[in-house]
Amino acid sequence: MTKNNYIIIFLSAILIVAFSISSRADRLKDLTSIAGIRTNQLLGYGLVVGLSGTGDGNTKLVQQSMQSMVSQLGLSTDASGLNGKNAASVMITADLPPFIKPGQTIDITVSTMGAAKSLRGGTLLMTPLKGADGQTYAIAQGNLVVGGFGVEGGDGSSLIVNIPTVGRIPRGATVEKMVDMPFLNNEFLVLNLHQGDFTTATKLSEAVNAIFGPKVAVPLDATSVRVRAPMDPAQKVTFVSLLENIELEPARPSAKVVVNARSGTIVIGGDVRVTPAAVTHGSLTVQVKEDTTVTPGTQIVGALGNQVAGGGEAVQTPETEMEVSEEMARAFVFDPGVELSTIVDAMNAVGASSADLVAILEALREAGALRAQLVII
C-alpha cells in the first residue's frame, strides 16, 4: 500500500473514530495490549545508610557490604571495625516502562532483607539495577520516603504503624540503557486481548477492517489479532493512536461463579442460570457438655469436734449432657432460566450464610442444575 493511500485512510479513520466516540463501548487500549510492548522488571542489591540505630547491626552481610562500598572509594579498612547499626542491606525493585530513554528517571521501591527495624531517614547509596539478562539498565540513589514508623519502650513494648521496613524513592533511578522494541521494524502488529474470547477477537478484527479497509486485521486465535501497519515510523505512531481509540463492545463472558473459600467471598456472574431445581436448607447442631461431680468421703465427728473415723476417699463422677437443636429446613424452587437476582433473593430469604451458599452452589452443580462454571480459589 502506498504512502498516499495510507494518508487517505488515516484522514477517513480520524472522522470515523471521532463520530464513534459517543458510544459507551470500551476502547481497544482498555481491552488489548500490543505484543512486544511491555514493562521490564529491574532488581538490585544496595546499602541504606544514615539510619538512627534501626539498621541491621553488625551482621556479616552488612559489614561485607560496607567494606566493599568503602573499598570502591579507595579506602582500606577491616570489616570488624565497621558498625552496622545505622546501615541496612536492602533489595531495590523497579519497573522499566517501554520506550523510556536514557537519562529519564523512574520510581523505585526499597525493602529490607535483614534485621533492620526501620528505613526512616535513610539514604540509598548508588546501586545498579539489572534486568533478567544480567545487564545494568538503571542506577538508583537517593533519600527514602517511608510511610510507616516504629517505636520501642524500655520494658520491651513496641508500637508499629504501617510498614517502616519498605520505602520509596520517587524518580530515584536514572535510566542508563533502553530496551530494544520490535515496534518500528515489524510490518504487522499483534493485539492481545486481556481476556481471551473468540467472539471478541472476531468483533475486534471486524471493527478495525471497517475503518482501515478489508483484510487489515486478521484474528489468529481467541487472544491475538494481527494488524497490518505502515512501515514509516511517523505513520505507524499515528496508526496506533487511531487504532487504540477504536471503540468495541466485547462479548459477554462465560457464566461463572467464583468462590473464595478463605474469605467467604462469592461472586456470581450476570449470565448464571439455574434449571428447575428444589433446594432444602437447614442445619443440625449438637452440643456436648462434659462435667465432673466430686463426692467427698464420709467423716464421723466426735462430741468434742475431733474426727473419730474417716469414710474413705473422695469419689469423682463424670457427667455428660447433650443438647440437639435443629433449625427448621426451608425449601425454595428455581424455575427454568432463573437469573442472578432471583438466585440472590432466594438465598437471602432462607438466611443462608456464605458457607451455606457455597454448599448450595456445589450441590446444584452436582445435580446438573447450575448452568455456570464453579471456580473455587
Examine the pLDDT at 76 and tell me if it is beyond 70: yes
CATH of the domain at 233: 3.90.1150
Instruction: Report the C-alpha gap between 166 and 172 in whole angstroms.
Output: 15
Lowest mean pLDDT among 56-60, 108-112, 206-210: 56-60
335 CB contacts (<8 Å, ≥6 apart)? 276, 342
End position of a domain, from candidates 230, 248, 266:
248
Residues 47 and 77 in one domain: yes
Residues 202 and 270 in one domain: no
114 CB contacts (<8 Å, ≥6 apart)? 56, 59, 61, 62, 88, 89
Residues 48 and 110 in one domain: yes
63 CB contacts (<8 Å, ≥6 apart)? 79, 80, 82, 84
Domain of 294? 287-326
End position of a domain, from candidates 141, 175, 209:
175
Higher pLDDT, 193 or 157: 193
Residues 91 and 14 in one domain: no
Instruction: Report the C-alpha gap between 237 and 10 in whole angstroms.
Output: 11
Total number of domains in the chain: 4
Lowest mean pLDDT among 3-7, 18-22, 98-102, 233-237: 18-22
Q: Which three cell numbers stand for residue 369?
A: 442444575
Maximum C-alpha span of the chain? 130
pLDDT, residue 219, reads 96
The helix (H) or strand (E) run that includes residue 139 is strand 136-143
- Encode pLDDT of 7-58 as tens digits: 444 444 444 444 444 445 789 999 999 998 999 999 999 999 999 888 998 8
Residues 218 and 138 in one domain: no
264, 355 contact by CB (below 8 A): yes
pLDDT, residue 104, reads 97
Residues 144 and 33 in one domain: no
Residues 79 and 151 in one domain: yes
Report which of 324, 313, 321 is spatially closest to residue 291, judged by C-alpha positions: 321
Strands 373-376 and 256-260 turn out to be parallel
Residues 335 and 316 in one domain: no
Residues 332 and 300 in one domain: no
211, 13 contact by CB (below 8 A): yes
End position of a domain, from candidates 248, 270, 298:
248
Query: Residue 217: pLDDT band by 50, 70, 90 thresholds?
Result: very high
Residues 85 and 75 in one domain: yes
Q: Which three cell numbers stand for residue 198?
A: 473468540
Residues 134 and 218 in one domain: no
Lowest mean pLDDT among 91-100, 166-175, 219-228, 356-365: 356-365
Angstrom CA distances, 289 to 187, 283, 284, 320, stand at: 78, 20, 17, 6
**Unique residue bearing C-alpha cell 432471583:** 342
Residues 377 and 262 in one domain: yes
- Encode pLDDT of 254-287 as tens digits: 888 888 877 778 888 877 887 777 777 665 444 5
pLDDT, residue 363, reads 81
Among 79-93, 96-110, 281-295, which range has the highest average pLDDT? Answer: 96-110
CA 366: distance to chain centroid?
31
